[in-house]
Amino acid sequence: MNQAGHLAVGAPLALAAAAAFGTSSVLQFRAVRQVPEERAGRPRLLARLFRLPSWRWSVVLAAAAFALQVAALSLVPLILVQPLLVTGLIWYVLVFAAAERHRPDPPLLLESMLCLLGLAAFLAVAQPGRGQGRGLESLGSAVLLGVAVVISVGLCLLAALRLDRRWRPLPLALAAGVCYGVTAGLISSLGFHLEQSPLTVFGQWQLYAIAVLGPFGVLLSQNAYQAGPVGAPALATITVTDPLVSIAVGLLWLDERIMTGVGYLLGQVFGLVVVVVAVFLLARRAPHAAGG
């Protein structure tokens, strides 16, 4: 299959993954409101959630979304797949409104769409290309990535402890987004080994890092949903942080490419600034949308 064929198949797979992730997030947010609140990072929250049928269904949807994401990453660049997952936020807003039997809050919907448009503008200008994905095979690169993850997630958790309840979901969601973005990068790097022989992945450290980082990201996302009055701002932060982190991993570790001329870079910065502004507006809207 040529590059155009990969794109024709990979992009719809990523969009389908986004829809499944968004719907799964609605079920997760509604479930976490039914159990006692736990401090960030405590696995006991997942044990309590697993007793709820709705949360178990959310896991099924998330697993399907993850499989679709892996399939997409095997065909198209990480820098393309992860930004497309931001459309899951739109699904979240629409499905959540349907579940609550009311119309979507217009400002929340508008700001969610703004996230999507900002990332779409970035993709149109960046024109990402796939690299060789060999950057994570050296010990030095692996350690550098690990240190970056530990520091960024640690700072987010520290901020969550110090902030009041209104703002606490944002650093928790940011930490979850970091975990998801790095996990996607690790999955993408394993794709090159899968092309050679599926059995070779069991000898790669990335597989075992995914087994730790992925579930920890899920736990942090549940903490973020539980800590705030509505789920959309937390999901917005996750779905924006995830592609931004993935872009960094793709460029710094996986040798992926984007357009680098001055005009292209300005367009990419503009798209990302739109995303940041949309997330800020969405976060500010959260208490009002919840009636707080």
Q: What is the pLDDT of residues 237-291, one digit of tens each?
A: 887 788 889 889 988 888 888 898 899 999 999 998 898 788 777 656 544 444 4
**pLDDT(208) > 80:** yes
Predicted confidence at residue 56, as pLDDT, reads: 92
Mean pLDDT value across the chain:
82
* pLDDT class of 64 with cuts at 50, 70, 90: very high
Most confidently modeled range among 103-117, 149-163, 216-230: 149-163
Predicted confidence at residue 288, as pLDDT, reads: 43
What whole-number percentage of the chain has pLDDT above 90?
25
**pLDDT(54) > 50:** yes
d(CA 236, CA 284): 12
If you ran DSSP here, which 8-state letter would residue 105 be given?
Answer: P
**pLDDT(182) > 90:** yes
**pLDDT(230) > 80:** no
Could you tell me which residues are beta bridge partners of residue 257?
Answer: 129
**pLDDT(55) > 50:** yes
Amino acid at 102: H
* pLDDT class of 194 with cuts at 50, 70, 90: low
Enclosing H/E stretch for 32: helix 3-32
Rounded to an integer, the average pLDDT of 102-112 is: 75
**How many other CB atoms are found less than 10 A from the CB of residue 250?**
31
Q: What is the pLDDT of residues 152-170, one digit of tens each?
A: 999 999 998 888 777 788 8
Query: 10 with 76: CB under 8 angstroms?
Result: yes
Predicted confidence at residue 60, as pLDDT, reads: 94
Q: Which one has a higher pLDDT value, 172 or 42?
A: 172
b or e along 54-85 (b: 16 or more beta carbons within 10 Å of the residue's beta carbon)? ebeebbebbebbbebbbbbbbbbbbbbbbbbb
Which of 64-68, 118-122, 192-196, 222-226 shows the lowest mean pLDDT across its residues? 192-196
Predicted confidence at residue 146, as pLDDT, reads: 93
